[in-house]
Amino acid sequence: MTTTSPDVALPRLLAGVSFRGMAQLERHVEVHGPMPAPEELDATGVIGLAERSKLRGRGGAGFPAAIKMRAVRAARGRPIVVANGCESEPISGKDALLLHETPHLVLDGAALAARAVGADRVILAYEGPRSDTRISLEHALKQRRAARVDSVRFELFAAAEKFLTGQETALMAQINGGLPRPSFIPPRPTERGVRRRPTLVQNVETLAHLALIARHGAGWYSQLGTAAETGSTLVTVAGAVGMPGVYEIERGTPLPQLFAAAGGVTGELAGLLVGGYFGSWLPAALASEVELSNAALATHDASLGCGVLVALPASSCPVAETVRVAIYLATETAQQCGPCVHGTAAIARTLHGIAEGRTSAAAFADLERWTSAVSGRGACHLPDGLAHFVATALRTFAAAFDDHASHGPCDACGTEPLLRFPDPVPTARRA
Amino acid sequence: MRIRVNPIMCEAHGLCAELLPEWIRLDEWGYPLINPDPIPRHLEAHARRAADACPTLALLLEHD
């Protein structure tokens, strides 16, 4: 479905990104054109565009944006919009990039979302420790106030640095003054979220797409992508490629094409991680064939999720990498739901035992049972995500896990970790 | 009617599995594993009793 016409080609979201200091409003309008005024595009118009373009959430879950907007609009009470830029997936860099390099696109999209649901207030949540993000957003908001661009009020919210911080209900809890812990549904945030008001939470990339759809139309948007998965998408490429980083691709792009754009694969691969820490491990052979759409990835029990793609080099140990992430995720549980607290700890502990070569005969059977038993049994998807990550690792790297179980750590176990996560916050100790 | 647990409220008292063993069993840590299918009519009264008996009121009866 690609076309060569310059006005539909890539980059779209990343057009005008220069990496040269603060983003300027004038330059933004020069590149993308002005945002359609309410007289040209009203609430129904915005929702209609979201629906016809088949815009889906880009935070990982891929929920249709128009359905959420309608639910918030139909709920009782004055709605609030939350632009979710927390991006707690450690390898992902796309949301931070948008907030730095093209904040006005995100803010335009947030203002349009507010218009769609009838909100007068937008809360922009970003990863708290990132003061660079805050500076970029404050600068952008100052320019917009001076130019009187917006009729909505923007507030910045510094979210906690936790894996679950961007989970919709956990973000809601923080904004409401609580800890970053998911809550049970119902109620949905669309009915009762921030300050008990109907709340539209959308990922910042989703909002940036909305800003472009409002300017160029639903037809323009879906000229890229597949019939079911329209438009372009941001992905973060990491690992054994020449130029790791954030790339904008058409949905359905073959993975070899993306890797070529990212400077090519730099050596033999052990495997691929698709979709980040809630994602799937796939055999390295798929690097030369798989297409980056959820439909194509589903045949391999994978999905694009938040768009993280890691090429794990053969010099890294897939067992060691998997175990470290499993331990990290198990420590990031919100400690609320029994099956998650016990299940994720048991999975991480048993995996660690296998990696160290001290393990019981039942270890693999235990892991198989736990990875299926914890799925869907928490208030959020942390247990499901960890279980899937581990189950796909056990399948893809079966020989390596068997080898570690019998012989302990391999030569590659000591290699510098590729899959990273924030340093654990030191816990307070009594003197 | 279906039965669901609020996993945040649940503290693994296990009464539900005693009162509705046809539909609920416990995992190795004592937390309920619930059959997600609609509850047959003849078990509905037992399901209500299990929900009422839960010390943390963590069971929800959802009507389709």
3-state secondary structure (DSSP) of residue A156: strand
Closest in A183, A373, A378 to B27, CB measured: A373
Distance CA A230, CA A250 (A): 8
> Are B8 and A342 within 8 A, CB to CB?
no
Find tokens 């009519």 and name the residue: B41
pTM: 0.95
Closest in B8, B11, B31 to A184, CB measured: B8
Chain B positions touching A337 (Cβ under 8 A) are: 7-8, 10
Chain B positions touching A335 (Cβ under 8 A) are: none
Given a contact cutoff of 8 angstroms between Cβ atoms, the answer to whether A56 and A131 are in contact is no
Given a contact cutoff of 8 angstroms between Cβ atoms, the answer to whether A321 and A277 are in contact is no
- The model's pLDDT over A349-402, given as tens digits with 9 standing for 90+, comes to 999 999 999 988 899 999 999 999 999 999 999 999 999 999 999 999 999 999
Q: What is the CA A302 to chain-centroid distance, rounded?
A: 15
Given a contact cutoff of 8 angstroms between Cβ atoms, the answer to whether A77 and A243 are in contact is no
- The model's pLDDT over A210-231, given as tens digits with 9 standing for 90+, comes to 999 999 999 999 999 999 999 9
Q: Any CB–CB contact under 8 A between B31 and chain A? A: yes
* Closest by CA position to A169, among listed A232, A92, A104, A82: A82
Q: Is A263 left (phi over 0), alpha (psi -120 to 50) or beta?
A: left
Distance CA A233, CA A206 (A): 9
Closest in A184, A336, A339 to B31, CB measured: A339
> Are B8 and A336 within 8 A, CB to CB?
yes
Q: How many CB pairs under 8 A join A and B?
A: 34
> Are B7 and A337 within 8 A, CB to CB?
yes
> Are B7 and A338 within 8 A, CB to CB?
yes
Chain B positions touching A377 (Cβ under 8 A) are: 7, 31, 33
Residue of B nearest to A341 (CA): B29
pLDDT score, position A422: 80
- The model's pLDDT over A294-343, given as tens digits with 9 standing for 90+, comes to 999 999 999 999 999 999 999 999 999 999 999 999 999 999 999 999 99
* Closest by CA position to A350, among listed A386, A381, A316: A386
Token digits of residue A51: 């629906």
A39 exposure class (CB count in 10 Å sphere: 0-12, 13-18, 19+): exposed
Q: Any CB–CB contact under 8 A between B38 and chain A? A: no
> Are A184 and B33 within 8 A, CB to CB?
no
Distance CA A95, CA A205 (A): 6
Q: How confident is the model at residue A261 (pLDDT cuts 50, 70, 90)?
A: very high
Distance CA A293, CA A92 (A): 18
ipTM for this prediction? 0.96
pLDDT score, position A88: 86
Q: Any CB–CB contact under 8 A between B11 and chain A? A: yes
Which is it for strands B32-34 and B59-62: parallel, antiparallel or unpaired? unpaired
Q: What is the dihedral of CA A195, A123, A332, A235, to 10 degrees?
A: 140
Residue type, B10: C
Given a contact cutoff of 8 angstroms between Cβ atoms, the answer to whether A116 and A65 are in contact is no
